[in-house]
Structure 1
Amino acid sequence: MSTSAAPSARPEPGPSVLDMSPVIPVVVVEDAADAVPLARALVAGGLPAIEVTLRTPAALDAIRAIAAEVPEAVVGAGTVISPEHVVAAVAAGARFLVSPGWTEGLLEAMRASGLPYLPGVSTVSEVLALLERGVGEMKFFPAEAAGGAAYLKSLGGPLPQARFCPTGGIGPAAAPGYLALPNVGCVGGTWMLPADALAAKDWGRVERLAREASALRQR
């Protein structure tokens, strides 16, 4: 019989990414010069927690700029998929880490960083494995493709100790359904960052959409 910890292991202590804001904008920055005005627009709209994905060459410079010039923002790194990403994100000034999935090496690197982090899951077995390791807060990805709010609701009965930030395919119509669930702390999304607004550097529109998103309070 296995002697590993029971799945009811309590979440790790420390600040929670899930309680920073009802919505975390998931930002893909193509030009680092846009990072500061974009972050200021999101903060002004009531969304201070900002996930900058490590998908572009500009991402780390964007994190550095936001960390240095927008102190009221809580900037994090997303699409963290390797221990090297963890090291680079911490050096750039990231204040939280988000991954689409996890491995033992990545999980250990995120834990060792000292930052709050959300490892990604999409199955019950992955949730159980993280609970065994003392991790109770997770990213649920890709949310809509992996079963949506109905899936997370079904996990609430057997695994109430697990809490989630669902991300992937969520828009303003679906977000309230997720936020109404007791095991969901926040959602991640991009709908407040439409491509045409970013291309036009229409930060006023981004701020308005962020304000609408920030009004999606849980219950």
Structure 2
Amino acid sequence: MLSDSLLALGFALTAYTAAKLYSDLHELPRLKVQPDPIPRSMHWLNVRSAVPESDWIKIKKVMMGNTFIKTPKCQCCGAAGPLECHEVWSFTWPRTQSLTGLKLLCHLCHMIHHIGFAMHKGEGEEVIRHFMKVNGIDRKTADRYIKQSFSKARQLDRFSPITMSKQHRLDLTYLNDKRFKLPRTFTTDERKSCNPKSKA
């Protein structure tokens, strides 16, 4: 009887900790653009790896058409020129990474969201300078946001004793919006449809 009570208490505490984590992903005030906490277990599991190249081009064309201007500009800093399509994610319990939007961004603003990848590619310092400029912040503040992002990504990647996994479901139901006119219906768990070799 006592062991059952302790087990129930353990699960309750775990659920509370998980709920707090997911509700507390943005401790620092939101900026115009900032690094995203993407867990390592979800790297390369995204829209770009879940749809064929032709569908990705179609999605980007829809986004370009929604700007209502002849020359689309970065939705964060206003820069003109080549734009990249950024996937906006939210994390909810139980362990789901959900697509909640798409943005057209210049390369540097896009890399702010993927600061770890930018550092890996040797673009880190240039991207950090752009991060500071766009948001009007100093290096110390920029480093705080980057550190928070890495910390949250590690937390999201922790093994869950409830789901018995590190993995998150990949919810791409946002793509079912009729404006995209994609050939299939997307579900709340698209992990198996992803090809991690298709890197965004």
What is the TM-score when the length of structure 2 is the normalising length? Answer: 0.29
Structure number with larger C-alpha Rg: 2
Tell which has more relative contact order, 1 or 2 (C-alpha 8 A, sep 6+). 2
